[in-house]
Amino acid sequence: MTDRGKRKAAMREAFDSEGFRAMGHRVIDALADHLRDVATGPVLPWRDPAAAFEDWAPPPHDGGGVEAGLETLARWVAASNHLHHPRYVGHQVPPGMPLAALADAAVSLLNNSMTIFEMSPAGVPVEEAVVQWMCSALGFGAGSGGVLCDGGSIGNLTALVAAREAVVGSRAGETGQHQRLAVLASDQAHYCIGRAAQVMGCEFVPVASDGAYRMDVHALEGELDRLSREGIRVFAVAASACNTPTGSFDPIEEIADVCQKKGLWLHADGAHGASVVLSERHRHLVRGIERADSVTWDAHKMLMMPSLVTGVLFKRGDAACETYAQRSSYLLDKSPKEEWFNPAHKTIECTRRNMAVPLYVALQAYGTRAFADHVDDTIGLAQLFAAEIRARGDFELAIDPPVNIVCFRYRPAGVTEDAALDELQSRLRESVLRSGRFYFVKTRLRNGLFLRTTLLNPRTTIEDLKALLEAVRAAAER
């Protein structure tokens, strides 16, 4: 057999069901072992970036067979940041729920595009069910709707383009008009809000935040008056629910009052915090969110779904169709009203991964109440951690944590200079990270650099967090 013939035979074997079964058993066994043993090893196997890039050369011209592929996968798992480790308390990325990960594998194998109903006749109805579940949880009524997309950045852009169309009209980006348009958000808002404005050719105007890092509504009204005098038309205000640096929630109810009075679109960036609507205990954090015209909500944060799963949710469900509807004879041949079952009418994206199935399967298995309990548990753990920090004289909190994000720093006696204190936090973080025992991040706030944790893992305990404080203190003593 020629070399080309051997390669064609290998590709046929790649789709053999029994070969797949054998590979699947080995991969699942290895991942189950990883899940079992992850806490016994490092969270992050520290590598210098330059050395890590050298570890992963471009793939060879000729493959080494399935064994080489499986060995490479095992090597990749070992070298990765281990989010299932109870001492991973870093960025707002959770450990993937195992059942959802299995559903995600099925999604990958079937590879049904979510562009039109015909390409995903089971996936499209499942997505609609998930969207309606989200809308109902937010308090949106009949006629609400939306779509799932790849992450909060795309989600916020999708919503804000719809906002511009709804408020300014005439597809502002296509008319050649040169009216200056603006989006407002807190100076603590996620950077993707400003990036979305940049993509749309609009201005982003940051609004001052208060001492708790929440949008100052009086400052908002002042900015709106100023921009009106300057001839700049504001079409949307984006409220953070919650922001990324500190987990602070903007006062949505008060912002909604301003938007209603001014005729502005209210968008709530609930990428991280919208999940609190599931909790009776903590829903007050987003009081007024049901008044928003649009909301983004990441299931790949507090709902522990594999990345990425973002809901872009509209109080008036046809708002997206009015913005994005186009004709293409090979795909979308009729109006959104006639083709109500084709999601491509509602989103910037064309080919989309089926994101709803892992969440739908997990909800079928565990129910909404289990996720509500998880929200309560993570926020409760953050409050316990804050109490531990307050009880230690050489640590301080940035603010009392509103949600499951805790910002703190080590402040030993005798270190008073701001630059020295900031440098100390950076050095302490790097020292602890290099040990592999914990993974946490940092953020710069008004009064300096702080260490930052996000608590998303149901395996993380207060004992793990006490150990983190001790590790930081020990690094300082060294």
pLDDT(176) > 70: no
- Show the domain range for 124: 106-363
Is 273 inside a domain boundary? yes
User: Residues near 328 by Cβ (< 8 Å), separated by ≥ 6?
Assistant: none
pLDDT(326) > 80: no
Is 114 inside a domain boundary? yes
356-374 pLDDT tens trace: 999 999 999 999 999 999 9
Is 431 inside a domain boundary? no
Q: Quick check: helix, strand or coil at residue 190?
A: coil
Is 144 inside a domain boundary? yes
Is 193 inside a domain boundary? yes
Bridge partner residues of 183 (DSSP): 204, 236
Place 333 in a pLDDT band, splitting at 50, 70 and 90: confident
Q: Listing from the earlier edge strand, what are the strands of the sheet with 294-298?
A: 145-149, 310-314, 294-298, 265-269, 233-240, 181-186, 203-207
| Cα 300 to Cα 273, 275, 304, 351, 401, distances in angstroms | 11, 10, 5, 20, 21
CATH code of the domain in which 248 resides: 3.40.640.10
For residues 139 and 320, which has the higher predicted lDDT (pLDDT)? 139
Cα–Cα dist 237/255, whole Å: 8
Is 6 inside a domain boundary? no
Is 197 inside a domain boundary? yes
For residue 178, the Cα-to-chain-centroid distance in whole angstroms is: 34
Cα–Cα dist 63/6, whole Å: 11
Cα–Cα dist 449/291, whole Å: 35
Cα–Cα dist 61/13, whole Å: 19
Bridging pattern class, strands 294-298 and 265-269: parallel
> DSSP letters of 203-248?
EEEEE-B-TTS-B-HHHHHHHHHHHHHTTPEEEEEEEESS-TTT-P
Place 179 in a pLDDT band, splitting at 50, 70 and 90: confident
User: What's this model's pTM, rounded to 2 decimal places?
Assistant: 0.94
Task: Taking residues 291-300, report their average pLDDT.
Answer: 98
**Which tokens hold the place of 168?**
């300014």
pLDDT at 330: 61
Is 404 inside a domain boundary? no
pLDDT(168) > 80: yes
pLDDT at 10: 83
Task: Taking residues 466-472, report their average pLDDT.
Answer: 98
The domain tally of the chain equals: 1
Q: Cβ distance 308 to 148 under 8 Å?
A: no
Task: Taking residues 147-172, report their average pLDDT.
Answer: 90
